[in-house]
Amino acid sequence: MSSREHIVRQGECAASLAATCGTTVDALWNDAANRSLRERRHSPHMLAPGDVIHLPDGERSGENVASASSHDFSTHVEHVDLLIRWLCPTYPEHDIGDDDGHEPEVEASEPEPLANVPYRLEVGGRIIDGRTDGDGVLEERVPARAMSARLVFDPDTDDEREVSLLLGHLDPADELSGARQRIANLGWPDGDDEEAVKAFQAHHDLEPSGRLDQATRDEIEEQSGC
């Protein structure tokens, strides 16, 4: 089958591209033309902007049918698993402040799982109600072409909290951008900040160099789980 080169953009992955082309993730990812990409990336769901992937010629969306007669047809919408573990920092009890009204500096302890919390997920025109498990994990099947979602914890209560999700935007862990994204997702102030890297390294008994060396990248990948 003939194919064409496509330069991956932010937010795209093999699943979303396969859905656009009317094929499956396995068929696209295992195409011989994509062998070099498979050797570089561990997962079809985690590509970096600038990666080159070969797509089959001729997109089949199933959205436009030009005919004077009536036809019965169905379309298959590719879905992927959305799997996220939610953590929240915990803070020890402390005094309100000193006589000058200055708040004392308080460091958060290890984050705790956001366990057994109800949520409402709006994605791809669907509304999904669920509850995180005991480890704070949310797992749902979502349309492969979806690139964003709205998540509300404790919906319809006074504790309601809303989170905007960008789907497919996490770069591979071995890319500098991916390592920085994971630091930010783990709760450090800013993955682009050298001080945030130093703080992460010190917290995990690594040399606080501020550089994303291999030992630091390995620890980031282990802590993030992806």
- What are the pLDDT digits (tens) for 75-110? 445 788 888 888 775 544 444 445 555 554 545 456
Decide if pLDDT at 115 tops 80: yes
- Asked, for residue 90, whether it belongs to a domain, the answer is yes
User: Domain of 25?
Assistant: 3-56
Residue position matching structure tokens 């789980």: 225
Q: Is the pLDDT of residue 159 over 60?
A: yes
CATH of the domain at 12: 3.10.350.10
Check whether residue 148 and residue 191 sit in a common domain.
no
Same domain, 92 and 130: yes
Residue 67 forms part of a structural domain: no
Q: Do both 25 and 47 map to the same domain? A: yes
Question: Same domain for 159 and 182?
Answer: no
> Are 85 and 160 found together in one domain?
yes
Average pLDDT for 3-12: 91
Tally of domains within the chain: 3
First to last CA, the chain: 33
Q: Do 52 and 8 fall into the same domain?
A: yes
Question: Do 116 and 132 meet the contact criterion of CB atoms below 8 Å apart?
Answer: yes
Over residues 167-183, the pLDDT tens digits come to 888 888 878 788 888 88
Same domain, 193 and 146: no
| Confidence band, pLDDT 50/70/90 cuts, at residue 60 | very low
Is residue 31 pLDDT above 50, yes or no? yes
Q: Are residues 184 and 156 in the same domain?
A: no
Which helix (H) or strand (E) element contains residue 143? strand 137-143
Instruction: Based on the fold, state whether residues 120 and 139 are members of the same structural domain.
Output: yes
> Looking at the predicted structure, is the pLDDT value of residue 53 above 60?
yes
Is 61 a domain residue?
Answer: no
Is 69 a domain residue?
no
**Model pTM?**
0.62
* DSSP letter, residue 171: P
The pLDDT mean for the chain works out to 80
88/38 same-domain check: no
Alpha helices for the chain (secondary structure H): 14-21, 25-29, 35-40, 176-185, 194-203, 214-224
Q: For residue 135, which of 170, 107, 111 has the smallest C-alpha distance?
A: 111
In a domain, 200, yes or no: yes
> Residue 140: pLDDT above 50?
yes
Residues in Cβ contact with 153 at an 8 Å cutoff, skipping those fewer than 6 apart: 114, 117, 118, 119, 159, 160, 161, 162, 163
Residues 15 and 42 in one domain: yes
Q: 13 lies in a domain?
A: yes
Domain-located, residue 68: no
- Identify whether 190 is part of a domain: yes
Confidence of residue 6 (pLDDT cuts 50, 70, 90): very high
Residue 63 — very low, low, confident or very high, per pLDDT cuts 50/70/90?
very low
> What CATH code is carried by the domain that includes residue 152?
2.60.40
Distance from C-alpha of 226 to C-alpha of 221, rounded to nearest angstrom: 6
Residue that is last in its domain, among 123, 144, 166: 166
92 in the same domain as 13: no
Of 83 and 192, more confident: 83
